[in-house]
Structure 1
Amino acid sequence: MSSIKNHVQLIGNIGHDPTITNLENGKKVARFSLATNEHFKNAKGEKQTETSWHAIVAWGSIVDIVEKYTEKGKEVGITGKLKTRSYTDKDNQTHYITEVVADEILLLGSKPDKA
Protein backbone atom coordinates (compact mmCIF):
# COMPACT_ATOMS: atom_id res chain seq x y z
CA MET A 1 0.00 0.00 0.00
CA SER A 2 2.89 2.40 0.50
CA SER A 3 3.26 2.86 -3.26
CA ILE A 4 -0.16 4.54 -3.60
CA LYS A 5 0.16 7.17 -0.89
CA ASN A 6 0.97 9.90 -3.42
CA HIS A 7 -0.55 8.70 -6.68
CA VAL A 8 -2.50 10.71 -9.26
CA GLN A 9 -4.35 9.46 -12.33
CA LEU A 10 -5.87 11.98 -14.74
CA ILE A 11 -7.46 11.83 -18.16
CA GLY A 12 -7.90 15.12 -19.95
CA ASN A 13 -6.93 17.39 -22.81
CA ILE A 14 -3.68 19.30 -23.12
CA GLY A 15 -4.38 23.01 -22.69
CA HIS A 16 -1.41 24.42 -24.62
CA ASP A 17 1.41 23.03 -26.71
CA PRO A 18 3.94 21.55 -24.28
CA THR A 19 7.02 23.64 -23.49
CA ILE A 20 10.22 21.61 -23.79
CA THR A 21 13.28 22.98 -21.99
CA ASN A 22 16.82 21.69 -22.56
CA LEU A 23 18.78 21.98 -19.32
CA GLU A 24 22.51 22.61 -19.05
CA ASN A 25 23.08 19.09 -17.72
CA GLY A 26 21.69 17.62 -20.96
CA LYS A 27 18.33 16.62 -19.50
CA LYS A 28 15.01 17.84 -20.86
CA VAL A 29 11.80 18.78 -19.07
CA ALA A 30 8.30 19.11 -20.53
CA ARG A 31 5.63 21.35 -18.99
CA PHE A 32 2.00 21.67 -20.01
CA SER A 33 -1.46 22.17 -18.58
CA LEU A 34 -4.12 19.48 -18.55
CA ALA A 35 -7.85 20.17 -18.44
CA THR A 36 -10.13 17.62 -16.79
CA ASN A 37 -13.92 17.87 -16.88
CA GLU A 38 -16.44 16.81 -14.28
CA HIS A 39 -20.07 16.49 -15.37
CA PHE A 40 -22.97 16.79 -12.92
CA LYS A 41 -26.51 18.08 -12.55
CA ASN A 42 -27.20 21.19 -10.51
CA ALA A 43 -30.10 21.61 -8.05
CA LYS A 44 -32.43 22.42 -10.97
CA GLY A 45 -31.48 19.19 -12.77
CA GLU A 46 -29.50 21.03 -15.47
CA LYS A 47 -26.36 19.41 -16.82
CA GLN A 48 -23.21 21.27 -15.78
CA THR A 49 -19.53 20.88 -16.60
CA GLU A 50 -16.74 22.01 -14.31
CA THR A 51 -13.22 22.18 -15.74
CA SER A 52 -10.13 21.86 -13.54
CA TRP A 53 -6.65 22.76 -14.74
CA HIS A 54 -3.56 20.82 -13.67
CA ALA A 55 0.11 21.74 -14.16
CA ILE A 56 2.01 18.73 -15.53
CA VAL A 57 5.80 18.25 -15.46
CA ALA A 58 7.55 15.36 -17.24
CA TRP A 59 11.18 14.23 -17.17
CA GLY A 60 13.29 11.56 -18.84
CA SER A 61 11.96 9.39 -21.65
CA ILE A 62 8.44 10.74 -21.16
CA VAL A 63 9.64 14.07 -22.56
CA ASP A 64 10.42 12.40 -25.89
CA ILE A 65 6.84 11.08 -26.13
CA VAL A 66 5.39 14.46 -25.17
CA GLU A 67 7.62 16.26 -27.68
CA LYS A 68 6.86 13.93 -30.60
CA TYR A 69 3.21 13.01 -30.14
CA THR A 70 1.33 15.67 -28.18
CA GLU A 71 -0.06 19.12 -28.84
CA LYS A 72 -2.81 21.42 -27.61
CA GLY A 73 -6.13 19.59 -27.46
CA LYS A 74 -4.66 16.06 -27.47
CA GLU A 75 -6.39 13.70 -25.03
CA VAL A 76 -3.94 11.94 -22.71
CA GLY A 77 -3.90 9.86 -19.57
CA ILE A 78 -1.33 10.78 -16.93
CA THR A 79 -0.15 8.89 -13.88
CA GLY A 80 2.22 10.50 -11.45
CA LYS A 81 2.53 12.15 -8.07
CA LEU A 82 1.79 15.56 -6.61
CA LYS A 83 4.72 17.81 -5.85
CA THR A 84 4.55 21.28 -4.30
CA ARG A 85 7.36 23.76 -4.76
CA SER A 86 7.80 27.39 -3.84
CA TYR A 87 9.66 30.42 -5.10
CA THR A 88 10.13 34.01 -3.96
CA ASP A 89 9.36 36.78 -6.43
CA LYS A 90 11.08 40.14 -6.85
CA ASP A 91 8.74 41.65 -4.22
CA ASN A 92 9.93 39.02 -1.72
CA GLN A 93 6.56 37.24 -1.74
CA THR A 94 6.54 33.46 -1.57
CA HIS A 95 4.40 31.59 -4.12
CA TYR A 96 3.49 27.91 -3.96
CA ILE A 97 2.84 25.74 -7.01
CA THR A 98 1.41 22.23 -6.95
CA GLU A 99 2.26 20.15 -10.02
CA VAL A 100 1.71 16.60 -11.19
CA VAL A 101 5.08 15.00 -11.90
CA ALA A 102 4.28 12.46 -14.61
CA ASP A 103 5.54 8.90 -14.27
CA GLU A 104 3.65 7.68 -17.33
CA ILE A 105 1.68 9.16 -20.23
CA LEU A 106 -0.90 7.34 -22.30
CA LEU A 107 -1.88 8.79 -25.68
CA LEU A 108 -5.65 8.64 -26.16
CA GLY A 109 -8.11 9.72 -28.82
CA SER A 110 -7.62 9.49 -32.55
CA LYS A 111 -4.33 9.94 -34.35
CA PRO A 112 -3.79 13.52 -35.57
CA ASP A 113 -3.81 14.17 -39.32
CA LYS A 114 -0.22 15.00 -40.26
CA ALA A 115 0.16 16.58 -43.69
Structure 2
Amino acid sequence: MRRDINYFFGIGNLVRDPDLRFTPQGTPVCRFSIAMNRRYRDKNGNFVDDTTFVTVAAWSKLGELCARYLSKGSRVAVVGELRSSSWEDRNGGKRVSYEVRAENIQFLTPVKPAVQEEVKEIPDLGSDFEAPEPFTFDAADAEEEILGDLEDIPVDDQEEGMAPF
Protein backbone atom coordinates (compact mmCIF):
# COMPACT_ATOMS: atom_id res chain seq x y z
CA MET A 1 0.00 0.00 0.00
CA ARG A 2 1.33 3.43 -0.96
CA ARG A 3 1.65 5.94 1.87
CA ASP A 4 0.96 9.59 1.17
CA ILE A 5 2.28 12.56 3.09
CA ASN A 6 -0.05 15.05 4.74
CA TYR A 7 2.16 17.51 6.59
CA PHE A 8 1.48 21.20 7.19
CA PHE A 9 3.96 23.70 8.60
CA GLY A 10 3.15 27.39 8.71
CA ILE A 11 4.02 30.52 10.61
CA GLY A 12 1.54 33.36 10.91
CA ASN A 13 -0.40 35.70 13.16
CA LEU A 14 -3.84 35.07 14.67
CA VAL A 15 -6.47 37.19 12.94
CA ARG A 16 -8.85 37.05 15.93
CA ASP A 17 -8.96 35.65 19.44
CA PRO A 18 -9.12 31.84 19.66
CA ASP A 19 -12.52 30.16 20.15
CA LEU A 20 -12.58 27.33 22.73
CA ARG A 21 -15.51 24.91 22.64
CA PHE A 22 -16.18 21.42 23.94
CA THR A 23 -17.49 18.31 22.20
CA PRO A 24 -20.54 16.58 23.73
CA GLN A 25 -18.05 14.17 25.38
CA GLY A 26 -16.25 17.14 27.00
CA THR A 27 -13.15 17.21 24.81
CA PRO A 28 -11.82 20.76 24.34
CA VAL A 29 -11.20 22.05 20.81
CA CYS A 30 -9.78 25.48 20.13
CA ARG A 31 -10.10 27.00 16.65
CA PHE A 32 -8.39 30.08 15.32
CA SER A 33 -7.23 31.44 11.98
CA ILE A 34 -3.75 32.60 11.09
CA ALA A 35 -2.66 34.92 8.30
CA MET A 36 0.52 34.01 6.43
CA ASN A 37 2.00 36.75 4.24
CA ARG A 38 4.23 36.45 1.21
CA ARG A 39 5.65 38.88 -1.31
CA TYR A 40 6.58 38.13 -4.89
CA ARG A 41 7.14 39.90 -8.19
CA ASP A 42 4.57 39.62 -10.94
CA LYS A 43 5.45 39.25 -14.63
CA ASN A 44 5.87 43.05 -14.89
CA GLY A 45 8.39 43.12 -12.03
CA ASN A 46 6.01 44.78 -9.54
CA PHE A 47 5.90 43.56 -5.97
CA VAL A 48 2.67 41.84 -5.00
CA ASP A 49 1.69 41.17 -1.38
CA ASP A 50 -0.46 38.10 -0.84
CA THR A 51 -2.04 36.73 2.34
CA THR A 52 -3.21 33.17 2.91
CA PHE A 53 -5.64 32.50 5.75
CA VAL A 54 -5.64 29.08 7.39
CA THR A 55 -8.00 27.73 10.06
CA VAL A 56 -6.31 25.72 12.81
CA ALA A 57 -7.94 23.28 15.25
CA ALA A 58 -6.08 22.35 18.44
CA TRP A 59 -7.57 19.56 20.54
CA SER A 60 -7.44 18.57 24.22
CA LYS A 61 -4.69 20.10 26.38
CA LEU A 62 -3.07 21.84 23.39
CA GLY A 63 -6.40 23.54 22.66
CA GLU A 64 -6.79 24.67 26.27
CA LEU A 65 -3.28 26.15 26.26
CA CYS A 66 -3.93 27.99 22.99
CA ALA A 67 -7.19 29.44 24.32
CA ARG A 68 -5.46 30.55 27.50
CA TYR A 69 -2.28 32.13 26.13
CA LEU A 70 -3.00 33.22 22.54
CA SER A 71 -4.89 36.26 21.36
CA LYS A 72 -5.42 38.27 18.20
CA GLY A 73 -2.03 39.18 16.73
CA SER A 74 -0.10 36.38 18.46
CA ARG A 75 2.55 34.85 16.21
CA VAL A 76 2.61 31.05 16.08
CA ALA A 77 4.28 28.20 14.24
CA VAL A 78 1.83 25.37 13.53
CA VAL A 79 2.62 21.77 12.60
CA GLY A 80 -0.19 19.41 11.74
CA GLU A 81 -2.19 17.74 9.01
CA LEU A 82 -4.64 19.26 6.55
CA ARG A 83 -8.20 17.98 6.94
CA SER A 84 -11.23 18.60 4.71
CA SER A 85 -14.96 18.57 5.38
CA SER A 86 -17.65 18.56 2.71
CA TRP A 87 -21.36 19.30 2.99
CA GLU A 88 -24.34 20.63 1.07
CA ASP A 89 -25.39 24.22 1.63
CA ARG A 90 -29.02 25.42 1.88
CA ASN A 91 -29.26 25.71 -1.89
CA GLY A 92 -28.03 22.15 -2.47
CA GLY A 93 -24.56 23.23 -3.57
CA LYS A 94 -21.55 21.18 -2.58
CA ARG A 95 -19.17 22.98 -0.22
CA VAL A 96 -15.72 22.06 1.09
CA SER A 97 -13.70 23.59 3.90
CA TYR A 98 -10.16 22.89 5.03
CA GLU A 99 -8.46 23.22 8.39
CA VAL A 100 -5.19 22.15 9.93
CA ARG A 101 -5.46 19.72 12.82
CA ALA A 102 -2.55 20.89 14.94
CA GLU A 103 -0.09 18.39 16.36
CA ASN A 104 2.26 21.04 17.73
CA ILE A 105 1.99 24.80 18.14
CA GLN A 106 4.95 26.95 19.08
CA PHE A 107 4.11 30.33 20.59
CA LEU A 108 6.43 32.87 18.95
CA THR A 109 5.13 36.00 20.67
CA PRO A 110 6.57 36.65 24.14
CA VAL A 111 4.16 35.93 26.97
CA LYS A 112 3.23 39.02 28.97
CA PRO A 113 4.94 39.12 32.42
CA ALA A 114 1.64 38.76 34.32
CA VAL A 115 0.73 35.68 32.29
CA GLN A 116 4.25 34.27 32.68
CA GLU A 117 3.86 34.41 36.47
CA GLU A 118 0.49 32.66 36.12
CA VAL A 119 2.10 29.87 34.08
CA LYS A 120 4.67 29.21 36.81
CA GLU A 121 1.86 28.74 39.35
CA ILE A 122 -0.23 26.22 37.36
CA PRO A 123 0.41 22.77 38.88
CA ASP A 124 -1.56 20.59 36.42
CA LEU A 125 0.32 21.33 33.17
CA GLY A 126 2.71 18.43 33.58
CA SER A 127 6.44 18.31 34.02
CA ASP A 128 7.22 18.79 30.33
CA PHE A 129 5.44 22.16 30.02
CA GLU A 130 7.48 25.32 30.03
CA ALA A 131 6.28 28.87 29.56
CA PRO A 132 6.46 29.72 25.86
CA GLU A 133 9.48 31.71 24.79
CA PRO A 134 9.80 33.53 21.49
CA PHE A 135 11.95 32.15 18.71
CA THR A 136 14.53 34.68 17.62
CA PHE A 137 16.83 34.57 14.66
CA ASP A 138 19.25 37.36 13.88
CA ALA A 139 19.96 36.98 10.18
CA ALA A 140 22.62 39.68 10.24
CA ASP A 141 24.73 37.74 12.74
CA ALA A 142 24.15 34.37 11.11
CA GLU A 143 24.45 35.36 7.45
CA GLU A 144 28.21 34.88 7.23
CA GLU A 145 28.10 31.61 9.17
CA ILE A 146 25.31 30.19 7.00
CA LEU A 147 26.39 31.47 3.60
CA GLY A 148 30.16 31.54 3.95
CA ASP A 149 32.14 33.23 1.16
CA LEU A 150 29.89 33.59 -1.87
CA GLU A 151 30.52 35.39 -5.11
CA ASP A 152 27.99 37.55 -6.91
CA ILE A 153 27.18 35.93 -10.23
CA PRO A 154 25.44 38.13 -12.77
CA VAL A 155 22.23 36.65 -14.13
CA ASP A 156 20.77 37.60 -17.47
CA ASP A 157 16.96 37.51 -17.06
CA GLN A 158 16.58 37.19 -20.81
CA GLU A 159 18.30 33.82 -21.03
CA GLU A 160 16.06 31.07 -22.30
CA GLY A 161 14.12 29.40 -19.49
CA MET A 162 14.86 32.14 -16.98
CA ALA A 163 12.05 34.15 -15.45
CA PRO A 164 12.60 37.46 -13.63
CA PHE A 165 12.18 37.27 -9.84
Distance across 2 between alignment mates of 1:43 and 1:23: 48
Q: SS in structure 2 opposite 1:5?
A: coil
The letter for the 1-side match of 2:31 is R
* Bigger Rg, which one: 2
Alpha carbons 2:57, 2:63 under 8 Å: kept = no
Identity of aligned residues (%): 26
Distance across 1 between alignment mates of 2:65 and 2:85: 25
Q: Any unmatched runs of 5+ in structure 1?
A: none
Report the structure, 1 or 2, having the larger strand content.
1
TM-score when normalising by structure 1: 0.85
Match of 2:15 in 1: 15
Distance 1:110 1:4, change over 3 A: farther
- Shift of the alpha carbon at 1:72? 0.7
**Aligned residue pair count:** 114
Distance 1:46 1:102, change over 3 A: same
The letter for the 1-side match of 2:27 is K
TM-score when normalising by structure 2: 0.61
- Shift of the alpha carbon at 1:5? 0.7
Q: Does 1:97 align with 2:97?
A: yes
Report the structure, 1 or 2, having the larger helix content.
2
Higher relative contact order (CA 8 A, sep 6+): 1
Match of 2:67 in 1: 67
What's the C-alpha RMSD, in Å, of the aligned pairs? 2.2
Q: Any unmatched runs of 5+ in structure 2?
A: 116-165
5 Å matches for 1:22-37? 22-37=22-37
